[in-house]
Structure 1
Amino acid sequence: MTESKTVPGACPLDCPDGCSWLLTIENGAAVDMRGNPDHPYTQGALCVKVNQFLEHTRAPDRLLYPLRRVGAKGEGKFERITWDEALTEMAQRLTGIVDRYGGEAIWPYQGTGTLGFLQGLQGRAGSRLWNVLGASEHDMTICSIAGLAGLEYTLGTSRGLDPEGLRDSRLILLWGTNTLSSGHHLWKPIQQARRAGAQVVAIDPVRTRTAQQADEHVAPLPGTDAALALGLLHVVVTMGAEDRAYLERHTVGWEQFRERVMEFTPARVARLTGLDEAVIVSLGERLATTRPTAIRVAQGIQRHAGGGTAVRTLACIPGVTGDWALPGGGLHYTTDGYFGGNREALYRDDLRPGPVRSLSMTRLAEGLLEAADPPVKALVVYGANPVASSPDQNRIRRGLEREDLFTVVMDHFQTDTADYADLVLPATMQPEHMDLHDGYGHLYLTWNEPAVPPPGECLSTTETFRRLARHMGLTEPSLYDSDEELARQLLDSEHPSLEGITLEHLRKNGWARLAYPASFAPYKDGFPTPSGKLEFLSERAAAEGLDPLAGFTPAREVSDPELAGRYPLVLLSGASHFFLNTVFGNKPKLRRRAGDPYVVLHPLDAAARGITAGDPVRVFNARGSFTAAARVDDTVRPGVASSPKGHWPKLHDGFGVNATTEERDADMGGGAVFHDNRVEVEPIDRPSRDED
């Protein structure tokens, strides 16, 4: 007799869609995974990556047992050991480091491999343990922080319009987002809006899959988005189309901001952005006359020296047009702030012995190589593969080679980063543990019920930290809370978003919409700023040494004429259609579909360098280089090169776009500057210019 059951689950990956899935279990084994047809946002569909997730859990190269290094760091040679041996060694090493250097010598380096509130980043998994030890605080700067900080100055929050509300929009600006590759479920409300007459404009330096499907593609120079926003508003104001009633009631600093807008004439913006003036005027006129207008902004446009300012300024557009007052109007960057769970109950920052230092995720090489007090002596990496994903890859490798650095990696596979570890610990994957998720691109909670036993000796993140605490002899009771207890503590909140939502309902149904109306305008009547209004002029920004007015801050390398003479191309490293960050970068089927690493050049740039399609080329600057095959087409504008992220360097002769990127902060939040990166490209058979 076949015993069959259906178990609800949630996609854990770093994607706004936060999908709900259903697992079919027969005789204790998972035999099928499909998108949940009852979930209003997932609607039965998963992406090309996650459709093969079950196969990925059974991959032959999956880590199943604890490992100890036996070769040189970076060599990737390990021997199998028991969990007791691994945890005893880890406990002894960490205890010794705390005793000699203090807890801050430990860096818990967590990434976006899973976004779960129990096992992953959203709940800062492991934070209770690190707080008890007084470890350094891990500052999560790699993804969206500059844009989040910019939105705080304008809106007082990062929350924007409900993405499902795009079905009510009549002009949709997809600004720096490749929706069809990085969150394709949003395309459904976009298509609903189109059928009702909406126009879709993609604003992106690259003609992505999404741009190809849009009604219009506008391709500004990288890092000039804020200038374009101000130019569009110049057209709106010149036409007298600003919503004066909304401006008077719900904004601060309009007159000063208006003066700044009027400095950005279409002619000036055309020079800054590389766009035709007529394109700017035409789009500005549509923005002036089309209500409601929705703007979807993704992380790409804030990964440069003026990234926080860019998102801050884009959020001003609906304040000028009055779209913040309209369902289907406004701006969407993230919905994460809508969930009012009791995150503090998970983090337990009250357990810290006192203030601790913060270490920036995107300054890993700096933290490992440069003098600090105390020095970083232990690095515990989980949900992250920084050798492939973080800036300044070559210096990170040098930092990880330190013999006095005790490194532990918890992962599903032996990544490039795991090759440098002293201990590698096998982690469970999503069908094998309990977790709770909120998508940052919708308003639903999604439950993940454990459906199958873990293979080999894999342990969940929470269980690994519970066992480590026991081996260290720690007595704080909350370190031993079960996963179910953690979930209940998170949901124990009086926030109105959780009205009527219980753990029992989530476990039975698999999901629940947060308690918000089906259609609403979040800022019809005010904003959670100090003034209660949208702040074109922010006193908080001024107090923190920033321009009090929203505006335009150029990307540093992109706008540097001297650097442009040496490295004429701006390199963009957007998301791959087949990998999610570096997740799936080792999956054979998806690797074949993605193809070998490549760099796209405009025909004019390729011809000037004697490069033809398929040629092996070297992409380089003073920080490093990588090799790839050339693709030559006009999906990129002249002066721009594009090479998708996600490949594992160890599988491609050391390939890595981040060999060329710099450890440097954006203007706000300490965000990364992946797209503020100038390079040169040359045929590989030509005598190479030395990196200097």
Structure 2
Amino acid sequence: MNISRRSFIKTGLAGSATLGLSGMFTSRKWFQSAAAENAPKEITRFTYHTTNCGGRCAFKCTVRDGKLVKIVPNNWTDTRFSTVCLKGISEIERIYSPDRLKTPLKRVGERGEGKFVAISWDEALTEIHKKLSSSIAKYGGKSILFSASSGIEYTYQQLVTLLGAQYVCEAGIDVGLANGLEECIGGQAYGYVQNETSDWVNSKTIIFLGCNILETTLTDSKFFYAAKDAGAKIIVIDPNYSTTASKSDQWISIKPGTDGDLLLGMITLILDNNWYDAEYLVKNSSAPFLVREDNKQLLRVEQSKEGNVENPFYVWDKNSHSLKPYNTEGVNPQLEGEFTIDGVKVKTVFTAMKENQKSYTLKWASEKTEIDEDVIYELTKRYATAGPAVLGWGFGGIDKWGNADVAGHAGAILGALTGNIGRVGGAVGNALYHGSSWTAALNSWELPPEFAQAPLEMTTQDRRIKENSVRVVINLGNTLQQHFANLSKTEEWINSLDFLVTIDPFHNPSVNYSDIVLPASTAFESEYDIINMQVNRSHVLMSQKVIEPLHESKSDFQIEKEMAARFGLDHHLPKTPEDLQRHRLTSGDPRLDGITIETLRENNFIMRLKVPNEPYRGFMDQKYSTPSTKLELYHEKMVEYDQAFPNSDLPSEAHKNNSLSKQYPLQFSQAHTRYRVHSQFTNAKWINQIDPHPKLEINSKDAESRKLKTGDLVEIFNERGSFQAKCKVTEYLRPGQVRLHEGWWTEHMKAGNLQNVTNDKLNERQYKLRYGPVIPYNDTLVEVKKI
């Protein structure tokens, strides 16, 4: 009898007779004597969740007779983090999943067919060494690309360096908004909000722009409710009525792809109504810098060189009524004005911004976004005048549009105008995954100087259409499905490769394209007692072996070590993971004082850094990691694209001006969900009892015109390809949209793959930005028909 966990709980004791269990309860098959000699051997182990849901839950695991049987939260010093969500609990089932790769595999069919034969580790490693050696001899180490999913904690960095290979992790994903924001504030990794989410209790207004935090960062929900209880007004701006919208004070529906237009309209309202903080702008931003009228470049001491602290930008000093470098002691910059310097007309960045904003009126923003004028007005007034405010966005929505950089840039300007960057209770950026907290520097494992990782030639997406060096791919995770749009073009590139290896615990869709497959252990399994370590949420977390590696799997540390041994290079690697973690803790960072392997062991492998008890808040000193150390609102390098200031830009594909919209009138998006992390947990059977199969969500009006009802099998298609899934009619989506939760594997679709239809056109101007072009997955047009 096959009884699922959910069915057993649902039926309960009252249903035991129906299940035929009442008689079994008295059977010796079920019960044994409680004598001590029959007691199972039970131990407790400690680890943390390594998936990139951002929760970084720490686990206390019960292991009984060598098998993981229970997961509960470990005790953090800050007990607000002592939690676990359904994904963490489901690891008990997933570890023992039938989808586990049990032995090394060798392809015997065509790439993509998924036909393999089992081979030994020796055969697999010998073949890998042979192919990699051949490629290095012919084309150099740069011909090998290690491509890692973001959920992979151990990324083979030592081997990458030893082989002189290239390495990439999620190029073009989750970078669209960060590209705009971080040009203004400097690097902060994926554009996270500057202040820790626990600081939201000090905010008066929190605006979530396409951010469904109560779905995608469940473990931060307590901070959402704490802020609400403390009096913050929470406003969600989202085309769809999300879980977060349902728990907020206000939901504003916006036309998809127009988020940047809303923010541009808000900038104009703040400027026109003098709701900006002039003193903040003068002290902390590039607003007083001077822009030349002739070439649109900033005026600086040596015009032919890049501007920075050593080659400072000029401002107009109100005290001396003359030109001065902005960092001159005692200078009093003028915020607004136009001047002529040696025959060259210049104006302040702030004055130029005002001129640039003239066309972005309240009426214009309302028409673009389909939000009423009075709603935009009240939203903006509150954000600018009601006290500290957070403008937070997510990764899975507006970030995956071709014009996302405009919204990121405009958001940074809003934060600067209102003084909400480097302020208690303020922040601008990605509000998911508790991305900002106290941290500490860890030592890196040094390799001899003759070894060097090859520079990454180009974004992964471009490798399919541009000449490049890569002939071999070592795929870590499920990158071949998750890291590319337009799967048919990806398959052409895959088939052109000389050799492809996948390393993962599960038979994910990328496995089917591979020549050799290596079964990695899960993060709960290892040959060693200590596995890995992270600094996260102001704590040091260490992961301990929970159980022995299952089947013939090996830990990533062991796989890297054995691969390096084939090249005679393993002596450069640490002997054990514990040696590596001990070394990492010797960086000398005072925030690590007292934290050692031994003290971590004494504290269940989790300790708080030597940092203040208050929330982390970035840039409180108003020193930014930009060339000028100021908030840089004007981007010279984007002048040729008319994006030195953020300017309205149509989406890449999903807009009415596109002739394709007549043939494919529906905008398709992939949404994050509480049930998965990208494509991770797609095979989690306990979770799939709740969310059993892919569902294409469609508004009732669009369903009615296509004669569709919930449960119908539909085809989703455009000129790139198609896939099939069941249909779900809903009122949560706006008309004109369809949505599928991301990450479903090919085998779960009725036919095809969701990436068959996604838009892979990159925005040319974004090559100049720090993260390169974003892949516009959600900026996609499709049509839907009943099968």
**Following TM superposition, by how much is the alpha carbon of 1:191 offset from its aligned partner in structure 2, in angstroms?**
0.7
**Following TM superposition, by how much is the alpha carbon of 1:90 offset from its aligned partner in structure 2, in angstroms?**
0.8
Residue aligning to 1:164: 198
Residue aligning to 1:56: 94
* Mapped partners of 2:422, 2:525: distance in 1: 44
**Following TM superposition, by how much is the alpha carbon of 1:389 offset from its aligned partner in structure 2, in angstroms?**
5.3
**Following TM superposition, by how much is the alpha carbon of 1:279 offset from its aligned partner in structure 2, in angstroms?**
1.8
Match of 1:87, SS state, is helix
* Mapped partners of 2:282, 2:466: distance in 1: 52
Residue aligning to 2:578: 484
Residue aligning to 1:279: 375
| 8 Å Cα contact 2:478-2:508 kept in structure 1 | no
From 133, 140, 161, the counterpart of 1:131: 161
Match of 2:90, SS state, is helix
Pair 192,353 (structure 1): closer, same or farther in 2 beyond 3 Å: closer
Pair 236,205 (structure 1): closer, same or farther in 2 beyond 3 Å: same
39-48 or 203-212, which moves further after superposition?
39-48
| 8 Å Cα contact 1:389-1:582 kept in structure 2 | no
Amino acid in the other structure paired with 2:774: G
Amino acid in the other structure paired with 1:281: Y
* Mapped partners of 2:260, 2:451: distance in 1: 40
- After superposition, residues 57-456 of structure 1 pair within 5 angstroms as 57-114=95-152, 116=153, 119=154, 125-138=155-168, 140-158=170-188, 160-253=194-287, 254-300=350-396, 301-333=398-430, 335=435, 339-342=439-442, 345-346=444-445, 352=451, 356-361=455-460, 363=461, 367=463, 370=465, 372-374=467-469, 376-387=470-481, 390-402=484-496, 405-433=498-526, 434-439=531-536, 442-456=537-551
Amino acid in the other structure paired with 1:275: I
**Following TM superposition, by how much is the alpha carbon of 1:380 offset from its aligned partner in structure 2, in angstroms?**
1.0
- After superposition, residues 522-561 of structure 1 pair within 5 angstroms as 522-526=618-622, 527-539=624-636, 541-542=637-638, 547-559=643-655, 560-561=657-658
* Mapped partners of 1:93, 1:473: distance in 2: 16
TM-score norm. by structure 1 comes to: 0.89
**Following TM superposition, by how much is the alpha carbon of 1:12 offset from its aligned partner in structure 2, in angstroms?**
0.6
Match of 1:445, SS state, is strand
Deviations 1:417-455 (A, max 9, x none): 11121111111111114122344xx44432211122111
Residue aligning to 1:677: 780
Pair 74,552 (structure 1): closer, same or farther in 2 beyond 3 Å: same
Residue aligning to 1:648: 745
Amino acid in the other structure paired with 2:677: L
Pair 244,512 (structure 1): closer, same or farther in 2 beyond 3 Å: farther
1:12 and 2:50 equivalent?
A: yes
1:631 and 2:725 equivalent?
A: no
1:32 and 2:62 equivalent?
A: no
Match of 1:486, SS state, is helix
From 535, 556, 573, the counterpart of 1:461: 556
Query: How many residue pairs get matched?
Result: 665
Pair 354,652 (structure 1): closer, same or farther in 2 beyond 3 Å: closer
* Mapped partners of 1:418, 1:428: distance in 2: 15
| 8 Å Cα contact 2:147-2:479 kept in structure 1 | no
* Mapped partners of 1:34, 1:558: distance in 2: 44
TM-score norm. by structure 2 comes to: 0.79
Pair 545,232 (structure 1): closer, same or farther in 2 beyond 3 Å: closer
Match of 1:283, SS state, is helix
| 8 Å Cα contact 2:270-2:381 kept in structure 1 | yes
* Mapped partners of 1:566, 1:83: distance in 2: 51
| 8 Å Cα contact 1:445-1:513 kept in structure 2 | yes
**Following TM superposition, by how much is the alpha carbon of 1:52 offset from its aligned partner in structure 2, in angstroms?**
0.8
| 8 Å Cα contact 1:29-1:452 kept in structure 2 | yes
Residue aligning to 2:35: none
| 8 Å Cα contact 2:48-2:542 kept in structure 1 | yes
Match of 2:130, SS state, is helix
| 8 Å Cα contact 1:576-1:646 kept in structure 2 | no
* Mapped partners of 2:45, 2:237: distance in 1: 40
RMSD, matched Cα:
2.7
- Fraction of identical pairs, as percent: 26
